[in-house]
Amino acid sequence: MIAKLWNRWKLQLILLLVLVLTILLPAVGVIDDYINLVLKYIGINIILTISLNLVNGYMGEFSVGHAGFMAVGAYTASLLTVLVVPEALNPFLFPLVIIAGGVVAGIFGLGLAFPSFRTRGDYLAIVTLAFNMIIKSALENIEAIGGPRGFMGMSKLTSLFWVFIWVVITVWLARNFIFSNYGRGVQSIREDETAAGLVSVNTRQAKVLTFVFSAFLAGIAGGLFAHELQFINPRSFTIAKSTDMLVMVYLGGIGSLGGSILGATTFTVVSEGLRSLLQVLGISQEWRQVFAPLMLILLMLFRPKGIMGLREWRFLIPQLDRKKEPPASKPQPEVAS
């Protein structure tokens, strides 16, 4: 009886325990401010990685512009916090503000889904890139939100507690999406779009859904990011940011939620470790910027699959699917031709 209950509820129990810990540990002082910050970054990066993995990994399209969605979410949420929501209500309406940021980013994602009907591969990469540049350029030109100087005045609302909740929600939503009918349609587009269309996958619908969902998640991450830093400017959301996301996706492995979590965690920890290392060695911090692109190149050359490309942690696979052959034993399909 107990064993059965444990099996049914263990995941929820563990999550609840961690949730309590996210409040307790920083409050008691077991984890100091720096570790707290790194943990929050890890969480935000996990959301971003899953967001990009949906488009690049599961759908096999190629987006280089997700920093643009992040920017939209960050600015929307920040503007709402500072200008619309009354000061006293801020901590309570924080989730709504973040969701609003995600929704607006999602609307932009809808806009970007339409070009993907006509173009694929390289050309879509250029479209997303242009989108990123346009967003950055537009933000720099709107004086009302600070222009190139950026925007500030948000209170520090992003706590470890909220980041953890959003990470769990993201993973849960993404898992349910991927293993739903729509999600399988999305993955069939990766393997062969024409064939997917022939077996009556509604490829347009799948693309719209994925782009909107992915943009929504990137917007959420942007909102959290903005309320952590309390200061955003257009330069935070350039191609360099998109490249960081690409590194995390390909490090963790495409088409894998577990991989996204591992990739984002590894990247953040290594990147922060490098900061301390450079400090100890007395080398300029600018060399840290060299690390991410170098890692991306080496990954592509020597391990394009990443840590766990196209494989999944068992507990992230819905019960009904678990009895089947593990996906790893299947021949590795070629991704994105």
Instruction: Identify residues 261-290 at the interface with another protein (CB under 8 A).
Output: 284, 286-287, 289-290
What are the CB-based long-range contacts (under 8 Å, 24+) for 113-121? 113/207, 113/208, 113/210, 113/211, 113/212, 116/61, 116/207, 116/211, 117/204, 117/207, 120/61, 120/193, 121/61, 121/62, 121/336, 121/337
d(CA 258, CA 328): 14
62 touches another protein by CB under 8 A: yes
- Cβ-based nearer residue to another protein, 70 or 157: 70
Give min distance, CB of 34 to another protein, in A. 24
The distance in angstroms from the start CA to the end CA of the chain is 51
Q: How many CB atoms lie within 10 A of CB 169?
A: 14
d(CA 116, CA 163): 31
122 touches another protein by CB under 8 A: yes
180 touches another protein by CB under 8 A: no
Instruction: Please answer whether residues 208 and 59 qualify as being in contact, where contact means their C-beta atoms are separated by less than 8 angstroms.
Output: no
Which of residues 297, 303, 313, 321 is near another protein by CB under 8 A? 297
Instruction: Identify residues 135-164 at the interface with another protein (CB under 8 A).
Output: 136-138, 140-141, 148
d(CA 226, CA 78): 7
Q: Which stretch binds another protein (CB under 8 A): 22-30, 75-83, 113-121, 167-175?
A: 113-121
Q: What length is written for the chain?
A: 337
- Cβ-based nearer residue to another protein, 33 or 122: 122
Instruction: Please answer whether residues 204 and 117 qualify as being in contact, where contact means their C-beta atoms are separated by less than 8 angstroms.
Output: yes
Instruction: Identify residues 208-247 at the interface with another protein (CB under 8 A).
Output: 239-240, 243, 246
Q: Which stretch binds another protein (CB under 8 A): 45-53, 90-98, 293-301, 307-315?
A: 293-301
Contact residues toward another protein (CB under 8 A) are 62, 64, 114-115, 118-119, 121-123, 125-127, 130-131, 133-134, 136-138, 140-141, 148, 194, 239-240, 243, 246, 250, 284, 286-287, 289-290, 292-294, 296-297, 300-301, 304, 334-337
